[in-house]
Amino acid sequence: MASITLDKVGKIYAGGTRAVGDVNIDIADGEFIVLVGPSGCGKSTLLRMVAGLESISEGTVRIGDRVVNDIEPADRDIAMVFQNYALYPHMSVRQNLAYGLKNRGTPKPEIERRVAEAAEILQIGPFLDRKPRALSGGQRQRVAMGRAIVREPAAFLFDEPLSNLDAKLRVTMRLEIKELQRRLRTTSIYVTHDQLEAMTLADRLVVLNAGRIEQIGTPLEVYRKPASTFVASFIGSPAMNLISSTALPHLPGVAHAGTIGIRPEDLTVSATGPILMDVLAVEELGAQRLVHGQTGGERLTVTLSSNAELSDSLRLDYRPGSLHLFTAGEGRRID
């Protein structure tokens, strides 16, 4: 187990395109870090640089006390779980788990012990002699994690490991990964584009956009105090309403702001509220309903309980302290 440090890390491709720039992250021993962002934000590239699968163009990556920039992936003491699992199709589950250990010259009894242990933890014992193609998606996912566990590495690297599973299984496996990491206390970096997955798994989130870090923080910090309009719109579902301050000039403190952010769940129906919204559409979610409308030419979404009364226009108020203000140009948070 080890800490991982990324110091001014950047990636420039052969053609001169910059994929990642100026990334600084200190990951504590045993911490679960989630890199989250839209596709193309550089999160996978960053993970692959830690793994050693991409060369590091700028900065340094440390695993433990060791700078690993020029060290082969096999020698970095990391294990990786891939999106498509990357199980060797011609090997049995047992051989898949053992392959990395065998290549390192681990003694046979030791390999057997570790494979049995991992199989026990992940409950894949009955499948050990099957080929991957005879397994279901969830079982393959477990084998892929097993391959990481048997190595007893300093860190786990997860590259969107759940995105090939159906929605229901994804929720189950998410929890399993969380519990497993709690139990093993192995430093983990996890890449996903799914903000919900990121929120539920992370000790700390790293929100990336266009190859740069937008914000690092615990899920609640990021949710409560998004550092930019990008983070505000990316984290939380339904997304935060971002409204030009000119649409609601009478709200307090908006004079210097370019954009006002209000989460749909922070809006309430109130006869005396300062915001008047024309209702355009309603989505029923069961316990709640999402009401979409517009005010001053801007789109607005409100989460209301399903027994709330509806009309063609609603007067809305917001919970105190729930306004987020952002600068006009770059959309940085104003506190």
Partner 1 sequence: MIENRPGLNLLAHLTLMLGVAIVALPVWVAFVASTHTATDFMSGTIPLWPGPHLIENYSQMLGAGVSTSGTPPVGTMMLNSLIMALLIACGKIAISITSAFAIVYFRFPLRNMAFWCIFITMMLPVEVRIVPTFQVVADLGMLNSYAGLSIPLIASATATFLFRQVFLTIPDELTEAARIDGAGPMKFFRDILLPLSRTNIAALFVILFIYGWNQYLWPLLITTSSDYYTIVAGIKRMADAVDGLPQWHLVMATAMLAMLPPVAVVIGMQRLFVKGLVETEK
Among 67, 86, 210, 247, binds partner 1 (CB under 8 A): 86
- Smallest distance, partner 1 to C-beta of residue 97, A: 10
Ranges within 177-206 binding partner 1 (CB under 8 A) = none
Ranges within 30-69 binding partner 1 (CB under 8 A) = 51-53
Q: Which stretch binds partner 1 (CB under 8 A): 72-80, 183-191, 207-215, 327-335?
A: 72-80
* Closest CB to partner 1 among residues 42, 258: 42
Q: Taking Cα atoms as reference points, which of 181, 102, 173, 107 lies closest to residue 149?
A: 181
Ranges within 213-272 binding partner 1 (CB under 8 A) = none
- Dihedrals φ, ψ of 3, to 5°? -85, 160
For every residue of 132-168, DSSP letters joined together read GGGS-HHHHHHHHHHHHHHT--SEEEEESTTTTS-HH
* Closest CB to partner 1 among residues 100, 273: 100
* Closest CB to partner 1 among residues 64, 73: 73
Q: Which two tokens stand for residue 151?
A: 């190595």
284 binds partner 1 (CB under 8 A): no
Among 90, 182, 299, 319, binds partner 1 (CB under 8 A): 90
Ranges within 122-151 binding partner 1 (CB under 8 A) = 147
Q: Which stretch binds partner 1 (CB under 8 A): 78-86, 238-246, 288-296, 317-325?
A: 78-86
CB-CB contact of 77 with 153 (8 Å): yes
Distance CA 223, CA 240 (A): 10
Q: Give a three-class secondary structure readout of 199-253.
A: HHHCCEEEEEECCEEEEEECHHHHHHCCCEHHHHHHCCCCCCEEEEHHHCCCCCC
Among 3, 57, 83, 164, binds partner 1 (CB under 8 A): 83
Among 15, 16, 17, 89, binds partner 1 (CB under 8 A): 89
Task: Count the residues of the shown chain that bind partner 1, applying the rule CB under 8 A.
Answer: 24
Name the β-bridge partners of 205.
Answer: 34, 217
Name the strand (E) or helix (H) holding 191.
strand 187-192
71 binds partner 1 (CB under 8 A): no
Q: Which two tokens stand for residue 5?
A: 């440090």
Cite the DSSP H helix spans in the chain.
43-51, 93-103, 108-122, 137-150, 167-184, 195-201, 219-224, 229-234
Binding to partner 1 by CB under 8 A, coded x per residue (else -) over 91-110, reads --------xx--xx------
- Dihedrals φ, ψ of 110, to 5°? -65, -45
Q: Which stretch binds partner 1 (CB under 8 A): 19-27, 74-82, 221-229, 325-333?
A: 74-82
Q: Taking Cα atoms as reference points, which of 213, 210, 217, 298 lies closest to residue 260?
A: 298
Binding site for partner 1 (CB under 8 A): 51-53, 72-75, 78-80, 82-90, 99-100, 103-104, 147
